[in-house]
Chains A and B, each alone.
Chain A
C-alpha cells in the first residue's frame, strides 16, 4: 500500500491539494466561520480527483500488479493522508487559540464558533461527508465528479450552518466555550464524531470497492 501512496503523491496529487492544506490556518481567523477551512481542504482534494480522471489514472492503477480493489484503497488512503495532515494542523491551531491566544484581543468577542474539540468534531463530519458523498459517489462511475461534489457542497454548507447555529440554542452553549470549562463534554462530542468518521469512511470504502468491481473501465 505504501507503493500506491507513493504513486499517488508522485503522479496524481494536484499541487492545489497541497496548497489548500493552508486552509487549516483559517482556524486562526477571528470572527469567521472557521469550519469553512475544512471545506477548502476538500476542494483541494477535488482537484486531485480531476487529475485522476484527466490522466486516466484509474486505468493505469488497475493495470499495475495489484488487486482491482486496491485501486479504491489507494484513493481513500490519499484522501485520508490529506485529511489527517489538515486535521493535525487544525488541532495545533485550536490548541493555540484555546491556550496562549485565548485572551488575545481579536478573539475575546466572537459570536461565531470558537475553535475547541467540538469544532474539530465538525471538521471530522465535513471530512466524513466528503469521504461518503464525494469519494463514494465517484466510485459509482470512476469518472463522474460533478454531481457527487455538488452534493458534498450542499452537505458541507449545511454542516457549517448547523455548527454556527447549535451553540445559540439554550443548553448547548457548551459547544461554543473556548476555554477548558466544558472540556469533558466537548471531548465526548469529538470522540463520537471520531467514531462516526472512522466507521462511515470504512463503510464508504467497502461500498466503493464493491461498486468499482462492477464498473467497466
Chain B
C-alpha cells in the first residue's frame, strides 16, 4: 500500500490535498489548483515516472472541469491518480510538460476537445478536427446528435 506517499503528501501540502483514497496498489486524491503542479512533481520524484493519461471530465452543473492525471510507477508497480478542479469559464491550468514530455500531446488533445488552455505547453494546435468553429465538442453542452443532424441535413 502506498501509505508513505499519502504521508508525504499530507505533510507537505496539508489541506491542499483532500479526498485521499488508498487502494491495495493505488492512491487517488484531489489537489487544489495552486498545489497541483507541486504535488505532481512530488509524485514524480517518488517514482511515478510514467504519465499514462490526462483525462478531463466536464461537470457542467457544478461549473467546473476536472483534470485527471493518471500515473504509474514502473519501480513501485503502483498507480496514482490526481484530480484537480478548474472553473469552466475561461479554463486554464499549468502544463506538466516540464515533468513528463509525453504530456504535450495529451494536453493538446484536451485543449482541442474541451478548450482548456495549458500554460507552458509549446504547441496546442488542433490534432483531429479541421476548421472547427463550434464550441469544443467533448463539452457536455455540445450536442453531438443535434450537430450531426444540422451538419448533414444541410448537405442534402
A binds B: no
Binding site for B on A (CB under 8 A): none
The chain B residues found within 8 Å of chain A, CB to CB, are none
